[in-house]
Amino acid sequence: MGGTLRVLVVDDHPVYRDGLRALLGSLPNVELAGEAEDGDAAVRMAAALSPDVVLMDLGLPGRSGIDATRAITGRQPDVGVLVLTMFEDDDSVFSAMRAGARGYLLKDADRDELARAIESIGHGGAIFGSGVARRVQAFFAASAGLRVDPFPELTAREREVLDRIARGESNGLIAARLAISGKTVRNHVSTILAKLMVADRSQAIVRAREAGLGGDPSARRPDGAVAGERG
């Protein structure tokens, strides 16, 4: 995976931005695309600069980091948002995930952890700090028997992609069916795997079909499509 990753830093504390600027300057194949001090500026600059990664604080003046994340990922799904915050409560974590963040780290993460997260998200992956990942896993384990709506942690588009995955469709076919790019599909798949806490596509398919996605397996044709489906 080559190319330089362009990173937009969003934080209202100048001293913390100084630290991130120094960190990014020390990393190979990473460059600072710009800096924003509030959520409105973050949305404007993301639209203007099209960064690969946005490092997003949550406690911003004006538009919150959650709202800014939702606006950015809604308009630019190829942009990976990595939340960097001091908040580790369930509401903050799950609100960020629902808004489309592909990563969530606490601000006390060390240099290597942050560097790995930027690299992963910049190339379509998803990553959550170990403490956050355990919190997510515990939450869904505790509430597994209580959910009516399957996978509430997924956005409507992610649920649509998961449904297509459960039908056995390839990324290329999903891209064609949903009229989106292959890169966008790959980004959605990475986020889905992270949110479902599964290791690979096959495990996601099992989870999805157990929840009723993917149509009636008995009606599935050998090519992975569903009998009677047009397309």
For 65, the domain range is 5-129
pLDDT band at 230 (very low <50, low <70, confident <90, very high): very low
Smallest CA-to-CA distance from 1 within 120, 128, 172, 103 is with: 120
Contact in structure between 191 and 120 (CB atoms under 8 Å): no
Contact in structure between 126 and 120 (CB atoms under 8 Å): yes
Shared domain check, 32 and 90: yes
Smallest CA-to-CA distance from 7 within 114, 113, 88 is with: 114
Last residue within a domain, chosen from 129, 151, 167: 129
Burial class (CB in 10 A: 0-12, 13-18, 19+), 172: exposed
Average per-residue pLDDT for the chain: 84
Q: How far is CA 125 from the centre of its chain?
A: 8
pLDDT band at 221 (very low <50, low <70, confident <90, very high): very low
Shared domain check, 195 and 122: no
Shared domain check, 106 and 162: no
Last residue within a domain, chosen from 129, 156, 172: 129
Q: Specify the pTM.
A: 0.64
Q: Do you know the residue count of the chain?
A: 231
Smallest CA-to-CA distance from 14 within 5, 25, 4, 22 is with: 22
Shared domain check, 96 and 62: yes
- The most distant pair of C-alpha atoms in the chain lies apart, rounded to whole Å, by 60
